Amino acid sequence: MANSPITDDAALVARAREGDREAFTELVMHYQVPLYNLALRMVGSRDDAADIAQEAFLRAWEKLRTLKGSPFKAWLFQIAVNLCYDHFRRRKRIAAMPEEGQETHVVSLGLPVPDPAERAEAGERDRIVRDSINGLDPDLRTALILRDVNGLAYEEIAAVIRAPLGTVKSRIARARGHVQERLLMFPELFARPQDQEDQHGR
Amino acid sequence: MAAEPQLEELSAYLDQELTGTARQELEAHLETCETCRRRLAALRQTVRAVQALPTEAPPRVFTIPPQRQQRKVTAGWAWAGGALAAACLLVVVTTIGLANLPHGGGTASNAPAARFEGGAAQASKTMTVTDPQNSSRQLTLSTGTAAFAADRATTTSSQAAPAAPANGPLQVGLVLQGVPGSAVPTSLSDAGVRLTLLRDGYEVALQNPDTFSAFRDGGALRITATFRLGSVALPSPAAGNYVLRVTWQVPDGSGVSLVAQVPVTVTG
C-alpha cells in the first residue's frame, strides 16, 4: 500500500481547511482524472460527467471542514458517487431528453490512427463493455467501476459506499459475472480463453 | 480439494483480496480442477476487458471560483428545480477550463496536468486549442467576466423596475490564429465558427448575436460577439450549467476543426 499519497492528501487537506485554495487546487489536479472517469463510466455522458466532477470538487471544498479524519480520497469519491445517483434520479424525470451517447459531432484533429479495421474492432469492444456496465444496476456498477476503472482496494471501496467488505466483495463479483455473460454474447470479439496460463494475474 | 469455489472467491482472488487459508485452499483446488481454472481465466478476461476501457482526459479544468466559500453550503445547486423562474437570466462564469477535444479517439493522450500549469489556481477565463498538425493554428475562446459583473448591477436595478429587460448578455471573445488571407468576416458563419450551448444532450446554436465585431491583429482574427440569452431557446428550466462550445472549421479545405469549450452557469 502506498502510504505517501494519503499522507500528502492529509497535509494538503489540512492547508485547504484553512482556506488555502492552492492546496485544494493540488488535490483537484491529483484527483480530477480518476474522478471524471468514475463519473463518465457511471453516467456515460462526457458533459454530465464533467458537471458531476466539477460539482463534487465544489462540494468537497465547501464542506471540507466537516471532514473528520477519514481519508479525503474516499470522501471525495463518495460525494461523486452520490451525485451520480442524483443524476440517475433526475434522468428518470427528464427521460425525454435525448441520450447523448457517443458524441456525434466528432472533431477530427487529423491525429494518426491505427489500422481502421483494428480501430473499429477496439471501438466495438469498448462499446460493448460500456453497454454491459450501463446495464448493471447502480450498486453493482459503482462497485465494479471503483474497482476496475479506478483501481480502488476493497477497503477503500467499502469506505466510499459505506458498506461492509463482504458486500463490496459480493457486488464486485456479481457485477463481473453479469458483464461476463454479456461479453460472451460476442464470441468474435471476446473469445473464450483457451487453456491459458493459470498463473495468478494482476 | 474442498467444495467448488464461488464466483465471489475467484473474483476476490483475482484482486489479491483473498487472504491466508482461503487463498491457499483456492489455489490447491485450482491445481486439481480444470473447470475452475477455466472459470478463473474467463473472469480474468472480463476484468481485463473492463480495465481496458480508455482513461479519458476531462474536457475542462475543474476549479473553485473565488466566490465559493467554505462552509457556505447553499441549499440548492443551480440544477435544483425550485426558484428557477426563468424570467431573468444572468450568466455567470463559474469555471473556465482548457480542453483539447479529439472526442472520437477518447483516450487521454493529452495529459491534462501538462496543460494547466500555473493556470488552475486562478479560474482561467480562457481556453486555447492548438492544431496538433500545425502549431501556428490556434483557437482561443473566452467569456468576459467584466461584462457579467456589470450585468449583475443591471439585474439588481431592474428588480426595482421589472419592466426593463434584465437578460445579461453573454459576451464571447474569439481569437483565430493562422487564418489565411486578409479578409475580415462579417458574421460568425462567415468566419467558419459555430457557437453552441450544451446541456444534458441539448445543443442550442447561438445565432444572430446582439453585437458582432471582428478585426485583424497581425496574424490573428479577433472576434467579439454578445448574445441575449432571453431570446435563445434554452431547455426548460433555463437555469443551470451549460457548456459554451465553439467549433471552428478551418477554412483551408483540410477538414480540420478546432473545438474549444468553457462551462457557463445560467442562473434564474
ipTM for this model: 0.84
- The grid coordinates listed for A14 are 489540512
CB half-sphere exposure, B44, CA atoms < 13 A: 20
Q: What is the pLDDT of residue B267?
A: 67
Q: What is the pLDDT of residue A14?
A: 92
What CATH number did the domain enclosing A86 receive? Answer: 1.10.1740.10
Q: Would A40 be classed as within a structural domain? A: yes
Q: Would A109 be classed as within a structural domain? A: no
Q: What is the pLDDT of residue B13?
A: 97
- Contact (CB<8Å) A47/B200: yes
Query: Residue A47 in 3-state DSSP?
Result: helix
Distance from CA of A72 to the nearest CA of B (A): 16
- Contact (CB<8Å) B133/A54: no
Return the beta strands (E) in B178-256 as ranges.
Answer: 193-199, 202-205, 211-217, 220-228, 240-249
Residue A46, chain B, CB below 8 Å: the answer is yes
Of the candidates A32, A36, A97, the beta carbon closest to that of B201 is on: A97
Query: Residue B149 in 3-state DSSP?
Result: helix
Same domain, A70 and A155: no
- Contact (CB<8Å) A148/B47: yes
CA dihedral A58, A59, A65, A68 (to 10 degrees): -130
How many domains would you assign to chain A? Answer: 2
CB half-sphere exposure, A198, CA atoms < 13 A: 18
Domains of chain B, residue spans: 7-51, 90-267
- Contact (CB<8Å) A148/B51: yes
Whether B266 contacts B242, CB under 8 Å:
yes
Give me the mean pLDDT over the A15-22 stretch.
90
What CATH number did the domain enclosing A159 receive? Answer: 1.10.10.10
Same domain, A143 and A88: no
In angstroms, the CA B167 to CA B152 distance is 10
Collect all residues of chain A within an 8 Å Cβ-Cβ radius of residue B257: 107-109
In angstroms, the CA A150 to CA B202 distance is 29
Q: What is the pLDDT of residues A104-156, one digit of tens each?
A: 333 333 334 456 777 788 888 999 999 999 999 999 999 999 999 999 999 99
**Percent of chain B whose pLDDT exceeds 90:** 18
Query: Peptide bond preceding B237: is omega within 30 degrees of 0, i.e. cis?
Result: yes
Same domain, A37 and A86: yes
Host domain of residue A80: 1-93
Residue A64, chain B, CB below 8 Å: the answer is yes
- Could you say which of A31, A59, A93 is where a domain stops? A93
Same domain, A62 and A135: no
Collect all residues of chain B within an 8 Å Cβ-Cβ radius of residue A51: 241, 263
Same domain, A6 and A85: yes
In angstroms, the CA B101 to CA B48 distance is 26
- Contact (CB<8Å) B46/A32: no
Q: CA separation (Å) from B228 to B26, B85, B89, B247, B263?
A: 67, 17, 9, 20, 17
The phi, psi pair for B214, rounded to 5°, reads: -145, 140
Of the candidates A97, A107, A153, the beta carbon closest to that of B102 is on: A107
Q: What is the pLDDT of residues B40-85, one digit of tens each?
A: 999 999 999 999 998 888 888 888 887 787 764 443 333 333 333 3
Q: Report the interhelical angle of B34-51 vs A165-183 (nearest 10°).
A: 90
Residue A127, chain B, CB below 8 Å: the answer is no
Amino acid type, B220: A
Same domain, A122 and A173: yes
pLDDT at A161 over 70: yes
- Residue of B136 and B90 predicted with greater confidence: B136
Q: Would A62 be classed as within a structural domain? A: yes
CB half-sphere exposure, B59, CA atoms < 13 A: 24
In this complex, how many residue pairs, one in chain A and one in chain B, have their CB atoms less than 8 Å apart?
Answer: 204
Q: Would A37 be classed as within a structural domain? A: yes
Q: What is the pLDDT of residue A92?
A: 64
Q: Would A19 be classed as within a structural domain? A: yes
pTM higher than 0.80, yes or no? Answer: no
